[in-house]
Amino acid sequence: MNDTDYKGILDDTVSKFVAARAKKNELEHEIAKLRQFFFATINMLPDKDREAFLARFHKVILEEERSAVGLKEAITRVLRAKPKEWLTTLDVREFLNESGFDFSNYKTNPLASISTTLARMKKDEAETTIIGGVTAYRWKKKPLKMFKPSASRIRDLAKKL
């Protein structure tokens, strides 16, 4: 008979999992606060300095997102970035390639994967039309509204950090 305490091992594993999830949530919350503070504060800089910091920040964000984003989310971002434009599958692939999306894990042709993903999008997410005999897609949902926080809100955020 085996003396291994599998229940104890599983209890320990579940406890570690719960602790890791809590740590992950805490880190995601901290990242969100830092991102919000960055964009609230960036408006206080002169244009020249603002552009340099934005470029630096976007480089960090792009590197992070490239490794974390799935194909549907990446396609959604492309459509949302150009909500008034009709984009074909080729257009979407071009934008994904330009953004550095990594297709190396896809066993099928990237164009086929993009086409399938676009075709499966919900009707309230994307709308379609035919342009020159080719299906084109456009983001249908309303774009997210951005806001510019007040100076007092920026000070409050800074105190929390």
Of residues 64, 125, 117, the one with CA closest to residue 92:
117
Mean pLDDT of the residues in the chain: 83
* Dihedral-angle region of residue 133 (phi above 0 means left; psi in -120 to 50 means alpha; beta otherwise): left
Q: For residue 59, what pLDDT is reported?
A: 80
Q: Please, which residues bridge with residue 128 across strands?
A: 137
User: Is the pLDDT assigned to residue 36 strictly greater than 60?
Assistant: yes
Q: What is the pLDDT of residue 142?
A: 63
CB 128 within 8 A of CB 136: yes
| pLDDT confidence bin for 143, thresholds 50/70/90 | low
The pLDDT of residue 155 is above 70? no
Average of per-residue pLDDT across 69-86: 89
Q: pTM of the prediction?
A: 0.48
